[in-house]
Amino acid sequence: MSVPFLLPVALALAAPAAQPVPSAAAPEAAAPAPPASPELADPLADPAASPVQASPAQAEPAQARPRHHHTPGDPLEGINRAMFGVNQALDKAFYRPAAMGYKHIVPRPVRTGLRHFFSNIGEPAVFLNYVLQLRIGKAVHTLGRFAINSTVGIGGLIDVAKSRRINLPHRDNGFGDTLAWYGAKPGPYLFVPLLGPTTLRDVTGMPIDDVVVPGVLLSKVAGRLSDSWPILVSGAVIPGLDLRAESDDDLRALTASAVDPYATLRSAWLQNRAAEVASMHAHKATPQTGPEPVDPLHDPAAPSAAPASSPAPGPAAAPPGSAPP
């Protein structure tokens, strides 16, 4: 507000120095007038801080300011953290109350039967991916499991195939596993609200595993593809509520003491996913390299201990019988 009033004052103070004096010493008196020009060039400049001295001081903090580096494997960390915050808000307001209500209202035998039913619907996708991976033995086992549970197990409501006598347990397998089987890298880590942590490779296969294959199967049973959509939607909602309710204690324990819950969940999920991918390549001595097998960011609440330093080199032990030097 005071800047417009300072300029006329500065011009008024500088005006007498520029006026000629009617005397013999007028040329000598007019000589000091040129130093006044810098003041007129910038009458509002701070005399205590010249531009030459201010530039290095201002440039130094800008160069010293640390840049934010994304965690390797998580180039979209800023977006993922925002989505994680959205998920936390939705989970607290809607998802967790609905899941815990489902757990308390629906009896356990009914929940178990629905879990088996929707798991059985996904067996054809597991079978198809084993075929694509040329793992014919596991494909045959999956097909046998699906046939037994669909008939003897009353449409999959009872998991008969996992009994000790039959010994055909459920095995997770999807199109993301097929891509990993043939060497596809996981791609960037992603966090999708209500879906949870995943990678670009795994999320690419979800429509095939969860919509295309079950939809084709149900359309063959129902006669029309449109009639299978209620079951597909139920297959996404009910198992999701059931899984959220059953994993509530684990999630709370995982993030209870974490300074950074996002990093803790990411670390746990990436390590678990890396173990699943590595188990498909049991003949390899070590898992594949890259951001998937090892998460480079650990939980800030539990920093990893510094590696044990190797003992300082000292005089080598003298062989038995030899005299000391």
What confidence tens digit (pLDDT) does each residue in 290-322 have? 444 444 344 444 444 444 444 444 444 444 444
What stretches of the chain show up as alpha helix (H) in DSSP?
A: 3-18, 26-30, 36-41, 51-64, 77-90, 96-105, 108-121, 123-132, 136-151, 175-181, 200-207, 213-222, 229-246, 248-256, 261-280
**157 pLDDT higher than 70:** yes
pLDDT (tens digit per residue) in 77-118: 999 999 999 999 999 999 999 999 999 999 999 999 999 999
Q: Are 193 and 105 in contact (CB under 8 A)?
A: no
The confidence band for 207, taking pLDDT boundaries of 50, 70 and 90, is confident
**18 pLDDT higher than 80:** no
Give this prediction's pTM.
0.64
- In whole angstroms, give the CA distance from residue 192 to residue 87: 8
> Which tokens sit at 16?
């007498």
Residue-level pLDDT at 2 = 44
Residue 94: phi and psi, rounded to 5, are -125, -55
- In whole angstroms, give the CA distance from residue 78 to residue 188: 12
Q: Find, among 201, 197, 136, 147, the residue nearest to 174 by Cα.
A: 201
Mean pLDDT of 239-248: 92
Sign for the pseudo-dihedral over CA of 90, 92, 94, 99: positive
Burial class (CB in 10 A: 0-12, 13-18, 19+), 258: middle
pLDDT (tens digit per residue) in 124-134: 999 999 999 99
Q: Find, among 125, 38, 94, 30, the residue nearest to 241 by Cα.
A: 94
Mean pLDDT of 143-150: 96
pLDDT (tens digit per residue) in 255-299: 787 889 999 999 999 999 999 999 988 744 444 444 444 443 444
Domain ranges, ordered by start, for the chain: 70-104+191-198+211-295
Residue-level pLDDT at 194 = 86
- In whole angstroms, give the CA distance from residue 186 to residue 294: 12
- In whole angstroms, give the CA distance from residue 221 to residue 51: 81
**251 pLDDT higher than 90:** no
**What share of the chain in percent tops pLDDT 70?**
62
- In whole angstroms, give the CA distance from residue 225 to residue 307: 58
CA dihedral 204, 207, 208, 213 (to 10 degrees): 170
Mean pLDDT of 138-167: 95
CA dihedral 172, 175, 179, 181 (to 10 degrees): 30
> Which tokens sit at 46?
């701070």
Residue 277 CB neighbour total at 10 angstroms: 19
- In whole angstroms, give the CA distance from residue 101 to residue 245: 9
**At which residue do the structure tokens 């040129």 appear?**
34
Residue-level pLDDT at 94 = 95
- In whole angstroms, give the CA distance from residue 186 to residue 198: 9
One-letter amino acid at 228 equals S
